[in-house]
Amino acid sequence: MNESGELFQRARALIPGGVNSPVRAFGAVGGTPLFFREGRGSRLIDVEGREYIDLVGSWGPLILGHAHPDVVEAVTAAARCGTSFGAPTRAEVELAEEIVGRMPSVEMVRLVSSGTEAAMSAARLARGFTGRDRTIKFAGCYHGHFDAFLIQAGSGALTFGVPSSPGVPAAVASTTFLAAYNDLGGVEELFERHGSEIASVIVEPVAGNMGTVPPAAGFLEGLREVTARYGAILIFDEVMTGFRVARGGAQERYGVMPDLTVMGKVVGGGLPLGAFGGRAEILRQLAPEGPVYQAGTLSGNPLATAAGLATLRALGGDGVYQDLEAKGERLQAGLERAVSSSGVTGVVQRVGSMMTLFFAEGPIRSMESLRSLDPSVYARFFHAMLRRGVYLPPSQYEAFFVSLAHSSGDIDRIAQAAAEALAEI
């Protein structure tokens, strides 16, 4: 047994499934999860010293690549001054300024420690602001493991075919309505029937947790119009898209302004940090200024804010987003060439530097389009790529993330490996 196998055996005796987040267990692709000891730029090195080109990027945060010098230096310097004070710091103000300076609809922001915490707090704030109890979410979208959102969530839950998790009280589940992604009619219907009860609509403006599914033309604009018409709050979950698909996230790319925005991943630069923000009149309802309670021992933690600041500042350079777009385009073109020459049925869907190769006929517009998809094809592809030194997300329902650290050579190597892997599966 290799070292990852031994570590996995030890881990399973102590940690449920041997992992601290379900999707890492390779349940959807089979085999033993790799344990890693180091990341460097576009590379991951496993505990046996094998090197892989990494397209997971820690599920999105590492848009600069692993161990970027600016980030390492900032976190090291911060750590030398202490790891947490439980009191306000300069870095929290500076990070808030960077976020507000980038996300067009965000006037005020609260920092927390994960995307889940940001999403659940935004949902509570929307309820507190409107005095209403219900939320609309979309099948296949994932907003973290908050009870009210684990209703046909995407990502892990979708992968494990557990559309609504045990342990979620029926009373809580009943406060959430489900709609189909890209189906405005369904949302209109829910508002016609329950408009006066609906506090918010939460949506991934580009879905990434059923694989990458872009918004259909008019979908986001339609959500903006119907929520305004019924006095409901529109929440963009930009944990994945924020600071990735554009400097100002999906709201800048598509020109649709939500009332609240949920952030995570990139904004923490790989350390535990999430954020939620939006219209000042809504944010001012949050304690201690307002009555809606929300709190966190490590919110705005000095190490996490240092990593986030270093990351956002490194993304501030000229041409950075054009570079990410070009890298994304190059990888999509390489994967599409590999698919077309293999004769395997597949479609690549991409927004900026996030994309998914679905082994299905396109276009994938919602969960419905995925019903006939056979995840075992992706599982075989995943392992064939792993054997060729490319580390993909261990699930068909996730996104590949290209970073600034991926060179053209890396991208062409991935495309070559894909052509060989597709010929093999």
- Tell me which residues touch ligand KE4 (CB under 6 A): 21, 23, 59, 114-116, 119, 142-144, 155-156, 204, 208-209, 237, 239-240, 264, 274, 398
> How far apart are alpha carbons 1 and 258 in whole angstroms?
51
Closest separation between CB of residue 345 and ligand KE4, Å? 24
Judge whether 237 counts as a catalytic residue: yes
Catalytic, 265? Answer: yes
Q: What is d(CA 425, CA 380) in angstroms, rounded to the nearest whole number?
A: 6
Smaller CB separation from ligand KE4, 195 or 296: 296
Q: Over the range 367-382, which residues count as b (16 or more CB within 10 Å of their CB) and which as e?
A: bebbeebebebbbbbb
Instruction: Please state the closest distance from residue 159 (CB atom) to ligand KE4, in A.
Output: 10
Tell me the helix, strand and coil percentages in the chain, rounded to 5. Answer: 45, 15, 40
Q: Residue 270 CB, nearest distance to ligand KE4 (Å)?
A: 11
Instruction: Kindly state the tokens that stand for 286.
Output: 């949050």
Shortest Cβ 237–ligand KE4 spacing (Å): 5
- CB-nearer residue toward ligand KE4: 149 or 230: 149
Whether 391 is a known active-site residue: answer no
Name the catalytic one among 54, 137, 142, 378: 142
Kindly write down the DSSP assignment for every residue of 111-177, as one continuous string. Answer: EESSHHHHHHHHHHHHHHHHT--EEEEETT----S-GGG-BS-SHHHHHTT-SB-TTS-HHHHTTEE
Buried b (16+ CB within 10 A) or exposed e, 15-31: eeebbeebbbbbbbbee
Nearer to ligand KE4, 297 or 322 (CB): 297
- Catalytic, out of 52, 230, 265, 378: 265
Minimum gap (Å) between residue 212 Cβ and ligand KE4:
11
Please identify the residue of the shown chain whose CB is closest to the bound ligand KE4: 115
Nearer to ligand KE4, 142 or 219 (CB): 142
Catalytic residue among 54, 137, 181, 237: 237
Q: Which is nearer to ligand KE4, 104 or 154 (CB)?
A: 154
408-424 and 320-342 are packed helices; what angle lies between their axes, rounded to 10 degrees?
A: 20
Residues labelled as active-site residues: 142, 237, 265
